[in-house]
Amino acid sequence: MRRRRIELAALLVVSAAIAASGAGGHAGAAAALETDSGLLRMRIVTEALGWRGTPYRYGGHARSGVDCSGFVNAVLKAAGVSGELPRKSSGFAAFGEAVDGGLEPGDILLFGTAKGVNHVGIALSPDSFIHAMSEGARTGVVISSLDDGTWQSRFLGARRIGEGKR
């Protein structure tokens, strides 16, 4: 039940972001870019949620099994992100644009240690994300909270896909 509420909340946040991008007095090309960005975020989140429950498989990148980077790669590709997409978690550290402010749905989240990025996921809201993991009973594509101490301590930053990557 809690997962359904998180999914619904994520979709509402994305919908609100899209609605806000079309309002507020923006005109012409700037408003079109903001709307395109909102639509891309919505496609990313919708596609990601459709993978929930997919089993974990190291090196996997298909619905039969995915690892974290294979999941993010497959979601972005299915959402219409063009160009060469990273296949390893570390590759996402230079993909898109660095996020300076708050997280938005569809942002790529980077996790790791001082040695570098070793896990990635996709933001659903400012405090939840979806990712593929293999840890005890929680394996496969799952939704987690950024407020969880494990993820909070390993969070390195986020990347946002710009218009040039579509």
What positions carry a catalytic annotation?
68, 119, 131
101/111 Cα distance (integer angstroms): 17
- A 10 A CB-CB count for 7 gives 18
d(CA 132, CA 95): 19
The C-alpha atoms of residue 149 and residue 16 are separated, in whole angstroms, by: 28
The token pair that represents 121 in the structure block: 């996921």
- Give the C-alpha distances (Å, rounded to integers) separating 104 from 88, 108, 153, 158: 22, 9, 20, 10
